[in-house]
Amino acid sequence: MKKVAVGMFGFGRTGKLVVNEFIKDPIFDVKWVVRRTKNEHHKYASRLLGHEKDEGEIFSRNDIGEDFYKKNPVDIIVDFAGTHAVRSYKAAADEGIKLISAVSKYDTDDYEMLMALKRKTAVLYSPNITLGINFLLIASQLLRKIAPHADIEIIEEHFREKEEISGTAKKIAKALSLDETKKINSIRVGGVVGRHEIVFGLPNQTIRLVHESINRSAFGQGAIFAAKWLIGKPKGLYSMEQIISRIFAEANYVY
């Protein structure tokens, strides 16, 4: 079976874990990794991550010229870098390279640029790309339909340094038609990676839906799931939530 060639943007705390997950998966061949600086320039991400093979040559964003993607072709780009990285891979869409972005928050101009690329190639955008959180989103919407009069509260827990309200919690509130200023309860403690809980209060019972990220490697596993799904898709805009929704719709339940 032919391997899927992947290019990665981002080699920070989360990016390294994501790259490592792709390197470990036999379906993928990480061709290169782009980071903002020239640190470890032209070294191999695989060696830096403890593997005994050369995979994922390190480039800086300044290396991305007009002919970069012709000289370094890949099937899919996976982006865990900052908001402006989209400007560096805009030309990749012209080559038909598929795009996966897990950037948590875009500036308006960069977001519009990403959305425009769906006219040229397949783009999957999910700020929280873990399987669990997207399953939680769909399951909570289903429960909301079953119990429309339930009292609902959202609790989000993250590491002490995270200042803003979780974007995922805001997305959950929007999906459930809740006022995010009143229904999201934030907790900041220690080194918690991320935990989201949705509490449904009903007469005589309480239902809790919980997702907890134990390790940032979960983002890599979600990206791998997304990449395997996206590789055969035509140009357009997709999301992890959409993938999970389709699986829900197509499932044959046995009672």
Active site residue 158: yes
Catalytic residue from among 16, 158, 171, 211: 158
Catalytic residue from among 90, 162, 170, 183: 162
Nearest CA among 26, 117, 122 for reference residue 75: 122
Asked if 125 and 204 count as a contact pair (C-beta separation under 8 A), the reply is no
Active site residue 162: yes
Cα separation, 194 vs 168, in Å, equals 10
Active centre residues (catalytic):
158, 162
